Structure 1
Amino acid sequence: MGLARIFRREQLTNYLKSDQHFAKTMTAKDLMSLGIGAVIGTGIFILPGTIAAQYSGPGIVLSFLLAAVVCSTAAMCYAEFASVLPIAGSAYSYGNLVFGEIIGWVLGWALILEYVLAVAAVANAFGAYFKSFLAGFHLNIPTAIAGPYDPTHGTYGNLVAIVVVLLISWLLNHGMRESMRINNAIVIVKIAIIILFVIVGIFYVRPSNWQPFAPYGAHGILRGASTVFFAYLGFDVVSASAAEVKNPRRNMPIGIIGTLVVATVLYMLVAIVLTGMVHYTRLNVSDPVAFALTLVHQNWTSGIISLGALAGMFTMMVTMIYSSSRLIYSIGRDGLLPKFLGRIDKKTQTPRNSLAVITVVIALLGGFVPLAQLTNLVNIGTLVAFLFVSFGILRLRHLPDLPQNSGFQVPGYPVLPIISGLLCFYMMLQLPAETWIASSIWFAIGLVIYFSYGLRHSRLNDQTN
């Protein structure tokens, strides 16, 4: 098997035929809820303060805007793919259709890294946050079951992290309609809590705190933008749901781009109010929003912010577990992983097998493994996918066997997709060396799996040339 075989492209009709067994229940509102659930987590209560103190000052508002503009270039590329190719698997499937199987596999392997580590890390944090939340009511979780496996510090597993992952999996296993109702309700609560902070905080804003606006100059604002860029990651998971969406050509772009718009507005509002309430030099603390509210004697609101943080983590895990199960289903569907992962349950119209496997992996990682040093790998996994999706638009427009001139189209073609790809590459270069080393090991393992198992079991082997 030579180069021609590993770069052989899958046929869109095969994907559409396999994915037709999904129930098409999701609307644009559901997609935005999924996206906002993934993008807006605890970071909104932390980043505006810490980045303002370290890099941008009150100019953090412009940092968020610049980061959103950079992200929007990739978001529009995803929107075009998702509207033209309404299939499960997101960047993995797009890579298979546009570049060939080996590129699709690399993208899928990158996304597995992103989704699994992101959910496990958040589940870990959820357990710690939930413990401190209960402590406020004088309820204590025993230390032995409140942290990763670390006998020297008396912790043997994070029970809350394991339970919350199993709970979310149970919800998703009962079909998307019910899961979306619960997710939508929690997202509304989360947004309401953010708006509550803005409304309460605005009465304590002192314009003098916004001076100087850019204490570290334009360089500080740009440095802040490169740091908060990662706060926007997550909108791409919306594209994983394309096979389950009503009228995907209309609703997918609304879901992806709408997510980015709402997230940008919320981040900027929190940043404006927070830096107006407290001078930026005092915001380099672990919980700047809660700190600011306590400073103006609004302790009751501070407690509600803690609830908002838990809601933020919960919806992020719902979206990521959902997306990762669809990703694993897509790879199993193509035979690159065991084919039982690519089956859809006829009763619930969900990929139960892939959901069960990914749940076990995430629960074990989130419950027993310290993940603090691995979170940068989430960023490189995402940026690899962004890079190929951006440049993939250039090929998508010139492949006669794929739909053309239908659905959403990236404006400013071909300049904007090229800019998007170059910006993603630039952001990858900003990641530390240890992240590149660890990710190289991950991708090497992925290639071994592909050449030893995936290539021999691929569905493409069953198709005539």
Structure 2
Amino acid sequence: MSLLRKKPISELLEQASGKQGALRKALGAFDLTMLGIGAIIGTGVFVLTGVAAAEHAGPALVLSFILSGLACVFAALCYAEFASTVPVSGSAYTYSYAAFGELVAWILGWDLILEYGVASAAVASGWSGYAQGLLAGFDISLPTALTSAWNPEKGTFIDLPAVLIIFVITMLLTQGTRESARFNNLMVLIKVTVILLFLVVGIGYVKPENWTPFMPFGFSGVAAGAATVFFAFIGFDAVSTAAEEVRNPQRSMPIGIIASLLICTSLYIAVSLVLTGIVPYTELNVKNPVAFALSYVQQDWVAGFISLGAITGITTVLLVMMYGQTRLFYAMSRDGLLPGIFSRVSEKKQVPRQSTWIVGALAAIFSGLVPLGKLAELTNIGTLFAFILVSIGVVILRRTNPELRRAFRVPLVPLIPILAVIFCGYLVISLPASTKIGFLIWLLIGSVIYFMYGRNHSKLNQGRFRSEP
């Protein structure tokens, strides 16, 4: 039964409001919205749109984005209720501790470690590719050995630009939440401006005949495209990891989560329509589809700005992913499920500096030395798994804790949570079997670690926290 013990909401709130080891409350609704946009708009819009259109959905890519967006909107409403009710670091891990109990909380926390960790490494590798492309435009090139991850056959040993950008982001995160948010806000404004520039210039070159046939691969292609571009939406849940650092979380958390998702979904839909209208979908299987589309219509001057937007976009995604990882480690360590070093907070900056450097070192190792390949797909299934559990958790807490003060309430419960589960479950089914097997192996490894370390060191199981049966 100790595996099913739940951490009471009152204990979570009391723990978050403690003075010692507390994080600085420095964020508002605008910062959270920008944090969400920073996490969502990046690799998805600048890279994955072309692959999804060429290989899966064709011009019906817009439907893929709508399908993924709906799954996220339903899940976002559930996140908003949790985040306004339990404004504590840890996101879905913390919510599941209250709704399902410790074992499920650990599994979900381990799942989120995969999401943020793999995403950080993958995004850093993508940043490296764009940065090297930008340098090439100035006739600057790095030695081959330093341009990509370990591959002796190609003569590459380490992806130096990926390691360097992770070092820079780690330095920034250790300076404080307020400083990191300001940098993120500036980068977000730049990349949104670049996307709007693409839309304004590109719409004049749209040819409706490029949208025919609209659904060349059938609805199964649309679903496969949705599962692919879902990577573009991961990250809005990272907003909820900032809950403990928000000045008025009951009001600001729902605004930040929902506003950022709606803005990004609208931009994705507009970009996919213009992109497939400019270039026949069969020619979009390139690494830089947005810049390619403008070069396709001889608007090379704008294509250069797109590369700048891609670099800033990917930078903010990396910032928010690494930020979310450190706050997840902080929450799990505070509960005793991970070593105490991850929850030590700097008295001066009020951020977990040691944890941040450890996260940065791990991300640098994976992005610099390990060819990720299909591993990034594990990020999608990990995120979908978290969305499903959070949606179910809302229904459970409505029944077990009806008296809780909820600043934001999901409408039409249990319909909206059920729709979130159905949409996210459908996207899970659409993922390759190899991805599902890899995810199960990851969860198995996590279970072994929990029973060898986490269970014995859990503060809840040691009686240092009150528990609910």
TM-score by length of 1: 0.94
Residue of structure 2 equivalent to 1:439: 439
For residue 410 of structure 1, what is the aligned residue in structure 2?
410
Q: 1:329 to 1:409 in 2, by over 3 A?
A: same
Residues 38-57 of structure 1 correspond to what in structure 2 (within 5 A)?
38-57=39-58
User: Taking structure 1 as reference, are residues 332 and 223 closer, same or farther at Cα in structure 2, changes over 3 Å only?
Assistant: closer
Q: Distance in 1 between matches of 2:333 and 2:133?
A: 40
Measure the CA separation in 1 of the matches of 2:250 and 2:163: 37
Offset, 1:359: 1.3
Cα pair 1:334 1:342 within 8 Å, conserved: no
CA contact (8 A) 1:10 1:96 kept: yes
Residue equivalent to 2:265? 264
Tell me which residue corresponds to 2:68. Answer: 67
Q: Which amino acid aligns with 2:300?
A: N
Structure 1 equivalent of residue 2 of structure 2: 5
- The letter of the residue matching 1:22 is L
Question: Who is 1:189 aligned against?
Answer: 190
Tell me the residue number matched to 1:199.
200
5 Å-filtered alignment, 1:269-348, equals: 269-348=270-349
**Once the 2 structures are TM-superposed, how far is the Cα of residue 397 of structure 1 from its aligned partner?**
0.8
Distance 1:158 1:209 in 2: 38
Partner of 2:230: 229
Contact conserved, 2:44 with 2:229, CA < 8 A, in 1? no
Q: Quote how far apart the aligned CAs of 1:120 are.
A: 0.7
Match of 2:82 in 1: 81
User: Contact (CA 8 Å) 1:36, 1:263: kept in 2 or not?
Assistant: yes
CA deviations 1:82-131 (Å, max 9, x no partner) are: 01100000011111111111110000000001100110111122222211
Alpha-carbon distance, 1:295 to partner = 1.9
Deviations 1:398-454 (A, max 9, x none): 223x86252111111012112212322222222222222222222112111111111
Q: Which residue is 1:364 aligned to?
A: 365
Question: Taking structure 1 as reference, are residues 226 and 341 closer, same or farther at Cα in structure 2, changes over 3 Å only?
Answer: closer
- 1:430 matched to 2:430? The reply is yes
Equivalent residues of 2:223, 2:430 under 8 A apart = no
Report the CA distance between 1:382 and its aligned residue.
Answer: 1.0
- How many Å separate the matches in 1 of 2:294 and 2:180? 33
Rounded to whole Å, the distance in 2 between the matches of 1:9 and 1:157 is: 44
Q: Quote how far apart the aligned CAs of 1:67 are.
A: 2.0
Per-residue deviation, residues 246-271 of structure 1 (Å, max 9, x unmatched) = 21111111111111111111111112
Match of 2:130 in 1: 129
Alpha-carbon contact 1:84-1:403 (below 8 Å) kept: no
State the Cα deviation string for residues 339-375 of structure 1 (Å, max 9, x = none): 2222222211111222122111111111111111311
CA–CA distance in structure 1, aligned partners of residues 327 and 183 of structure 2? 19
The aligned residue for residue 27 of structure 1 is: 28
Unaligned runs of 5+ in 1: none
Q: Take 1:206 and 1:243, find their aligned partners in 2: how far apart are those partners?
A: 48
Matches within 5 A, 1:239-258: 239-258=240-259
Deviations 1:157-195 (A, max 9, x none): 111111111111111111111111111000100000111
The amino acid across from 1:386 in the alignment is: F
- Show the counterpart of 2:103: 102
Distance 1:415 1:178, change over 3 A: same
Query: Structure 1 residues 403 and 352, CA, compared in 2 at 3 Å: closer, same or farther?
Result: farther
Q: Which consecutive residues of structure 2, in runs of 5 or more, have no partner in the other structure?
A: none
RMSD across aligned C-alpha pairs, in angstroms?
1.8
Cα 1:426–1:215, aligned 2, differ >3 Å: closer, same or farther? closer
Query: CA, structure 1 residues 459+48, in 2 after alignment: closer, same or farther (shift >3 Å)?
Result: same
Q: Distance in 2 between matches of 1:350 and 1:321?
A: 13
**How does the TM-score come out when normalised to structure 2?**
0.94
| Contact 1:8-1:100 at 8 Å conserved across structures | yes
Query: What SS is found at the alignment partner of 2:199?
Result: helix
Distance in structure 1 (CA, Å) of the matches to 2:216 and 2:329: 47
SS in 2 for 1:147: coil
Tell me, yes or no, if the aligned pair for 2:109 and 2:332 is still in contact at 8 Å. yes
Structure 1 residue ranges, 4+ long, deviating more than 6 angstroms after superposition:
none
Work out the CA distance in 2 between the residues paired with 1:298 and 1:214.
28
Q: 1:100 to 1:443 in 2, by over 3 A?
A: same
* 1:159 corresponds to: 160
